Structure 1
Amino acid sequence: MTNIYPFPHSADRPSDRNDAGSAPTSGHVRDPAATVPLRRSGNPRPARARTLARHLTDRDRQILRSLADFRLMTGQQLGQLHVDGQTPATAARRRRSVLQRLADCGAIQRLERRIGGIRAGSDGQLFALTPLGLTALRLHDPEVPNHRVRLIGDTAPGFQDHLLAITELYVQLREADDGHHIELLDFQTEPAAWRRFTGPAGETIPLKPDAYLSLGLGELEQRSFVEVDLATESLNVVARKCRRYLEYWQTGTEQAAHGVFPRVWWLVPHTRRELRLRELVAGFAPIEQALFAVGQLDDAAALLTTPVTSFSTEEPS
């Protein structure tokens, strides 16, 4: 059994690609404030949320949904996904206007921290969803998870960098999606990407990938679990996570539900970490090694969109 198999041509399958949304709002863009305070109660007034929901455009809702899914994004990432322009300058101006408006109405939060320092300008600003924005979004789309919005601005920079790396992978795959040779069919972040299985003593064991994705590559579909490793965890922690994947693979649960077991990609920041993880994987049995692949984050889109026709997930005999 392989993790790649034929599926109907894209013309016969509903597309997951989103429209760009409605026309951008024009007007003077004010200098942004450092932050927009969040309501710590997590329970915005329903009337305020309903008022906000009535004034959201299609593009506004797409931006809020992206922030609900990825929790933290840069202004540049949001612009790449949701704001178009005839020139880069026009797109940047529209992006600033849209994000400023959503911050002013309390739908999104702007963090004080910038990626790339002050010279990065608005591209490096960080944004997160507020409880008010989540509530307003769910009035239009009840399927959005009704989880409590964490105060992302209080989290450690390392945790934020991890979230941004996952988001950047999604942005790169969306840009690689040409609707024919490469199609991003599904991209799930935590907790949607998580799995649970039964251990040998009947206990429930969680498996928590950073992401799960499905790519259409020509007439084939390729599925992957993704672990973004920023070299902040010990190799012992990585080894335990690999063994958890092997335990899940051996149960056959994923194969029974979906017909295949996704390849597990470890994406790392530099060559030194890549070599260490390759050495770790080489310590597993040959049939177990086939479940894992290691690559660098800078090359992630190219690696994940390359068909791996020789990958097998046959269970051990």
Structure 2
Amino acid sequence: MNAPYVPGDGLPVGLPLGSPSDPSFSQVRGEPDSPSGTNTPHPPAAEPNPKRVSASRLAWVDDHLPERDRQVLEIVAAHRYLTTRQLERFVFTGHASEESAARTSRRVLARLERLQLLASLGRRVGGVRAGSSATVWQLTSASARLLRADGVGFRRHDPSPRFLRHCLAVADVNLAVRSLAGPARSVAVQVEPESWRPYLGPGGERRTLQPDLAAELTTDEYEERWFLEVDLGTESLPTLLRQCAQYEAYRNTGTEQAEHGSFPVVWWILTDDHRAERLTSAIRRAPRLTPALYRVTTFDRLRVAIEEAAS
């Protein structure tokens, strides 16, 4: 029987800490990033209205923000919502111990909250026992403005439980894929909308394939490319099969093959064995699907499954 999966708690398997050494978070080389640069100089006095960060104050923060703090904001922007524990595994690597990484992450996140660059949702995942590691973080209008020009119209939202769980589960899968990085292999991960693929349908209409993640693992000898879909049991089996049909339609355009030489394997990550077996069987029976294109696994088996696929 599978262990219950709580998004944001991390996958229920032993995962090495990810090590995103590139500030863009698109490339992982398995090398610990420098622990330096965690102390931000004190900015000018806050504005009278704490809900609004002035352009001058934001410019000052932008000039003095340490690179690792900026990485925190960028990875939160990519995933919309992340827990303290997830941010620790994405960014705060290379420490002597997990306790040291946890202390540093809490200190940095508290500072970013004081600077009005991060905001907590006011609720946690995994229950009260999960403690501060389960606090969920999101951007503020100030950090959205700092990261991108179109952040001016940014508004924070209180997500539905279903949407929040999905965002955190996708982040867990991202971490699992990144953990494959090592001295001899690199991993690149795209989060939506960067992972999306526009294409033309049979009638010339514009369509967009929208994987939760797209990943590429590269060594000196080979390259593995994957699309990854996360389902927490909220979609019906016919809906999942329709999504498989979209992959088939995109594959038939030949766009990915022309650019990369092959089409990525499509991974489905589901909540339990029963649901995984049903989808596997349905894919095999579907006359218009290509069973060899798909891999179906569960959250608690994902790490082992993708490691085997990458070996």
CA distance in 2, matches of 1:77, 1:70: 11
In structure 1, the residue matched to 2:64 is 55
Q: Rate the CA distance shift 1:148–1:232 in 2: closer, same or farther, 3 A.
A: farther
Asked if 1:169 is matched to 2:169, the reply is no
In structure 1, the residue matched to 2:91 is 82
Root-mean-square deviation over aligned CA pairs: 2.6
User: CA shift at 1:193, angstroms?
Assistant: 0.6
CA distance in 2, matches of 1:131, 1:307: 41
3-state SS of the aligned residue for 2:190? Answer: strand
CA distance in 1, matches of 2:288, 2:303: 26
3-state SS of the aligned residue for 1:69? Answer: helix
Q: Rate the CA distance shift 1:207–1:148 in 2: closer, same or farther, 3 A.
A: farther
CA distance in 1, matches of 2:223, 2:262: 11
In structure 2, the residue matched to 1:283 is 285
Q: Rate the CA distance shift 1:103–1:15 in 2: closer, same or farther, 3 A.
A: closer
User: CA shift at 1:80, angstroms?
Assistant: 1.7
3-state SS of the aligned residue for 2:179? Answer: helix
Q: Verify the 8 A CA contact 1:189 1:211 in the aligned structure 2.
A: yes
Please list, as runs of the form range in 1=range in 2, the aligned pairs for 1:67-78 lying within 5 A after superposition.
67-78=76-87
Q: Rate the CA distance shift 1:273–1:150 in 2: closer, same or farther, 3 A.
A: farther
User: CA shift at 1:295, angstroms?
Assistant: 0.5
3-state SS of the aligned residue for 1:193? Answer: coil
Q: Rate the CA distance shift 1:149–1:295 in 2: closer, same or farther, 3 A.
A: farther
3-state SS of the aligned residue for 1:24? Answer: coil
Q: How many residues align?
A: 274
Please list, as runs of the form range in 1=range in 2, the aligned pairs for 1:1-317 lying within 5 A after superposition.
16-17=28-29, 19-20=33-34, 22-25=36-39, 45-84=54-93, 85-138=95-148, 149=154, 151-152=156-157, 154-180=158-184, 182-184=185-187, 186-217=188-219, 219-285=221-287, 288-307=290-309
3-state SS of the aligned residue for 1:295? Answer: strand
Unpaired segments of 5 or more residues in structure 1? 1-13, 27-36, 310-317
Q: Rate the CA distance shift 1:302–1:137 in 2: closer, same or farther, 3 A.
A: same
User: CA shift at 1:196, angstroms?
Assistant: 1.4
User: CA shift at 1:20, angstroms?
Assistant: 3.6
CA distance in 1, matches of 2:192, 2:51: 23
* TM-score, with structure 1 as normaliser: 0.79
**Counterpart residue type for residue 70 of structure 1:** H
Q: Rate the CA distance shift 1:253–1:148 in 2: closer, same or farther, 3 A.
A: farther
User: CA shift at 1:102, angstroms?
Assistant: 0.2
User: CA shift at 1:49, angstroms?
Assistant: 2.0
Unpaired segments of 5 or more residues in structure 2? 1-25, 41-49
Q: Verify the 8 A CA contact 2:28 2:181 in the aligned structure 1.
A: no
CA distance in 2, matches of 1:235, 1:77: 30
Deviates more, 1:227-236 or 1:125-134: 125-134
User: CA shift at 1:296, angstroms?
Assistant: 0.7
3-state SS of the aligned residue for 2:193? Answer: coil
CA distance in 2, matches of 1:38, 1:232: 36
User: CA shift at 1:263, angstroms?
Assistant: 0.8
User: CA shift at 1:147, angstroms?
Assistant: 8.7
CA distance in 2, matches of 1:136, 1:211: 25
Q: Provide the identity percentage.
A: 35
User: CA shift at 1:164, angstroms?
Assistant: 0.7
* TM-score, with structure 2 as normaliser: 0.80
